[in-house]
Amino acid sequence: MTAQLKIRNGQLELTENNRTSWSIELKSIQLIGEYTTEGGPFVDDYFLVFANSNGTLYEVSNDLTNDPTFWAKLSDELNCQLQPELANSTDFNSRILYPGHLTSEPLFNLIVSGTDELELSDQAKGQLNNTI
C-alpha cells in the first residue's frame, strides 16, 4: 500500500493507493501531537495525531512525513513552529506540537494494565473541550 500525508488546497490529506482516506481543513486543526511506543524497530513505533474542531482524532505513522518540506509547510499554514522531537525515543513517550502554548506538554497518558492503553492527557482534553 502506498500512503502519503500531504498539504493541498487548505487541507491535510491522507491518501492511500491514490484515494483520499481522510482530510482535515487546516483551519479546523485544534491539536497536533506525536507519540512513540516500545514496538520498534520492526514495526511502526512513532505516530502523529491530528485533531479537528469536532474532536475527531486522526493518527498516522510518522513515516508519512518524510517530505522534507512537510513540517515547514504545515508550520507556515498554522503560523506556529512545529518541531517533532521523539524520533529517537525507544520507550513510550508523547508530546503536543500544536497549539504553541501547549508545546511539549504530554499528548497521552499510558494506562498500564493487562493491555496497555493510551488516554488523552488533561492538557489535550482541555484543548479539545474548548473547541467542541
Q: Each residue's pLDDT tens digit in the chain (132 positions)?
A: 588 899 999 999 999 988 999 999 999 999 999 999 877 666 678 899 999 988 899 999 998 887 879 999 999 999 999 999 998 888 889 999 999 999 999 998 877 666 567 888 888 888 888 764
How many whole angstroms separate alpha carbon 46 and alpha carbon 87? 7
pTM for the full predicted model? 0.87
Query: Which stretches does DSSP call E strand in the chain?
Result: 3-8, 11-16, 19-25, 29-36, 46-52, 57-61, 93-98, 108-111, 117-120
pLDDT of residue 132: 47
Contact 25/19 with Cβ under 8 angstroms? no
Contact 32/50 with Cβ under 8 angstroms? yes
pLDDT of residue 10: 94
Distances (CA, A) of 60 to 13, 93, 112: 11, 16, 23
pLDDT of residue 40: 63
- With vertex at residue 96, the alpha carbon angle to CA 63 and CA 58, rounded to the nearest 5 degrees, is 55
Contact 34/48 with Cβ under 8 angstroms? yes
